Amino acid sequence: MKLLSHIGLYINTMKGMFTRPENGRMYWKEFMHQCSEIGIGSMPIVLIISVFLGAVMTVQTAYQLVSNLIPLSTIAVVVRDSMLLELSPTIICIVLSGVAGGKIASELGNMRISEQIDALEIMGINTKAYLIAPKIVASMIMVPALVILSVVVALWGGRMAGAATGIIDPETYDRGLAEGFKSLNVIVTLSKAFTFSILLSSISAYFGYNVKGGALEIGRSSTLAVVVSCITILLFDYILTFLLLNP
pTM here is: 0.90
pLDDT of residue 241: 92
167 has pLDDT over 80: yes
Phi and psi, residue 87, nearest 5°: -65, -50
Encode pLDDT of 106-161 as tens digits: 989 888 888 888 888 888 888 888 888 999 999 999 999 999 999 999 999 999 99
CA dihedral sign, ordered 120, 124, 128, 132:
negative
| Confidence bin at 68 (pLDDT 50/70/90) | confident
Query: Dmax over Cα atoms in the chain, in whole Å?
Result: 73
C-alpha 112: how far from chain center: 25
- pLDDT at position 247 is 60
More confident residue, 20 or 88: 88
- Residue 196: pLDDT band (50, 70, 90) is very high
CA distance 143 to 229: 14
User: Length of the chain, please?
Assistant: 247
The overall average pLDDT reported for the chain is: 89
**77-93, pLDDT tens digit by residue?**
999 999 999 999 999 99
Q: Whole-angstrom Cα distance, residue 223 to residue 105?
A: 9
